[in-house]
Chain A
């Protein structure tokens, strides 16, 4: 049963510390998305990659957030330095998108990383 995995599942840290979240997309999926979910803002798209290339990171605070895909099996989201307002659940999702845009399959979500910044 193919699944998106995320680590860690929970993270508590102090303000100013670096946080790294990892995601393993489903094997064969070529598109990876990072979302943040809060009660106030709902589900927000932070960034996404297609074939490991960043396509859109407009939803991400550039001064402190960074997202990378070192290889096809790993996506990372880093926050440095972290702030209390970053407390949220961070979801990774993966999917398969076609070269022409005409083929589009649903996104599969991981279980999320619950981040608390004190």
Chain B
């Protein structure tokens, strides 16, 4: 079985400060990991993914994520937050031993204040 946990319902950060949105996962095989962002009244937009290779993955809008196998984590990061980054962020995982569907976390609401 595959699962993903986002331990924080909400993350607040001041504009210009670094941000981290946490994600941990559980799979039986190799993990394929994804981050998506959802703006109000919109569908989910792909940010980045880890399939294999370099543990630090760079994605859209200046976001990056670090895959840590020993801690089973895939935290989303950005060095300097923008007010426009305020949105709902979803972590998702697919187990290489399972089908093609992704298992999404509950989502973390990011609020960046001016």
Contact of B46 with A91 in the complex, beta carbons under 8 Å = no
- Bound CA–CA A8/B80 (angstroms): 38
B45 interface contact, C-beta 8 A = yes
* A43, A50, A56: the one within 8 Å of B90 (CB): A43
- Bound CA–CA A42/B108 (angstroms): 11
- The range of chain A's interface size is 20 to 34
Contact of A104 with B100 in the complex, beta carbons under 8 Å = yes
Chain B residues with a Cβ under 8 A of chain A:
32, 34, 36, 42-46, 49, 51, 90, 94, 96, 99-107
> What would be 20 A-B contacts, judged by CB atoms less than 8 Å apart?
A4-B43, A43-B44, A43-B104, A43-B107, A45-B101, A48-B99, A48-B101, A50-B100, A55-B99, A91-B43, A93-B43, A93-B44, A95-B100, A101-B100, A104-B32, A104-B51, A106-B49, A108-B46, A109-B36, A109-B44
